[in-house]
Amino acid sequence: MTIDKLRAAVGWTYREREDVVERRHLRAFRHAIGEDPDDETVPPTFTACFLDEPPPMPEAEAYGLGWLNGGDRFEYHAPLRLGDVIRSRLRFQDVIEKDGKSGKMAILTFVTEFRRPDGELVVRHVGTRIRR
């Protein structure tokens, strides 16, 4: 596959999803990151549990043989609370092609915004994923 098909797919979005900050998942997440599982404070990185990455995007899956994580950035706009309903949708924002030691690779950028039902932005996630 050529990089042209990936470039043409910029702007592609995945299905919208709705998640709830549930006590059981929060306890497991807090335990996994070494924090007190009985504390009901929601860490800002909790939205990582709601990411659809890598997405089932045919143009990306046709390029290269597998996925690598190229990094994550979280921008925090409002605190999450236990019981919050959060809506999100992943959007394919950009792609560049580079030459690596093992050949060409595509560096893809995905953005996911997490919002409350009233539209308030809570977290914006920017994920860099690599296909080679």
Full-model pTM? 0.91
pLDDT at site 1: 57
Cα Rg of the chain, angstroms: 17
pLDDT average, residue stretch 65-81 = 95
Residue 129 is encoded by which pair of tokens?
């994923």
Digit-coded pLDDT (tens) for 32-50: 999 999 999 999 899 999 9
Predicted confidence (pLDDT) per residue in 15-24, tens digit: 999 999 999 9
pLDDT, mean of residues 63-90: 95
Instruction: Specify the pLDDT at position 67.
Output: 94
**Domain spans, the chain:** 3-131
Residues 74-103 as b or e (16 or more Cβ within 10 Å = b): eeeeeebeeebebbbebebeebeeeeeeee
CATH code at 3-131: 3.10.129.10
